[in-house]
Structure 1
């Protein structure tokens, strides 16, 4: 169980680093106000109307690029943190690791013995109470 949690945590952290450092560009092509094509990692295809606008004097086609830059600096040192952050990080790590430690099963000493006979309270059965 502990190995499975460690492997899952490692995979999630690797994916987090991968997606935080990944950069991509979304290229959009508009004809007027209508979105004709949208592409990620490549150039958007045009509608072929760029040259038709030159004859009338107005060109309604435009390209738009949206770039998302990934994180460039990933070097974080434990010594760069102040004392309170170091104490919190160390105590959180210690308690989190100890959370998943298995507790050994303990032997039940009275598992081979039968339960005692039930003793009835005669006053309650007969409904006679002392006042």
Structure 2
């Protein structure tokens, strides 16, 4: 959950260097390294160098993380409250739970039905 929160709140910048339509380098948070064709073009004194291109895009993270109970829709509130109640119910100690039929004894066994119907587990 903490990793999901971190990934959703941080802004990501991806920079790509393309050479002749192929991706040569991808970099996160920094500028991608070039392939060296720009240096070769300046040495050859070529004016029209259209083989290399740099692309970058930024994925903006969330800034507003304050969410109140009233901002959530009623259906979602019901689901969250039900889930919390059922989850907290699993954390209770079984010895502390009330037994509703504790004072009533079990019924007397008049006949053993398994022997009466000759049903045996093998």
- TM-score (normalised: structure 1): 0.59
Secondary structure of 1:65's aligned partner = strand
2:120 is aligned to none
SS at match of 1:20: helix
Within a 5 Å distance, the mapping from 1:14-53 to structure 2 comes to: 14-53=2-41
Q: Residue 111 of structure 2 corresponds to which residue in structure 1?
A: 116
* Structure 2 residue 81 is the aligned partner of structure 1 residue 94: yes
Which residue does 1:68 correspond to in 2? Answer: 59
Change (3 A) 1:89 1:71: same
Aligned length in residues:
104
Counterpart of 1:97 in 2: which secondary structure? helix
Among 45, 48, 53, the residue aligned to 1:58: 48
Structure 1 unaligned spans of 5+: 1-11, 122-131
Partners of 1:65 and 1:18 in 2: CA distance: 22
Q: What's the TM-score, normalizing by structure 2?
A: 0.63
Q: What RMSD over aligned residues (CA atoms) do the two structures have, in Å?
A: 3.3
Gaps of 5+ in 2: 118-122
